[in-house]
Amino acid sequence: MPHRLSLHALEIISDHVHLFLNAPPSLAPDRITHWLKGSTSHRLRRTYSHLKRSARKCDGP
């Protein structure tokens, strides 16, 4: 993502995460969410490759 995001707060709960970000107004929230979910999934699958076989897609509603 070419834009700068500033993380102001982070809260991790058992089944989800809350982020409070500062982003340029030209960057739509859905694009931020898409990028964060994609990069997080990629890193988790690379780090925990043994979970790939048993993990199912959990994108939420």
- Does the structure show a pLDDT above 60 at 1? no
Nearest to 19 by CA among 9, 29, 34, 33: 9
Confidence of residue 13 (pLDDT cuts 50, 70, 90): very high
What is d(CA 48, CA 15) in angstroms, rounded to the nearest whole number? 17
- Does the structure show a pLDDT above 90 at 9? yes
Percentage of the residues of the chain whose pLDDT score is greater than 90: 44
Residue-averaged pLDDT of the chain: 83
pTM for this model (two decimals):
0.65
- Does the structure show a pLDDT above 70 at 44? yes
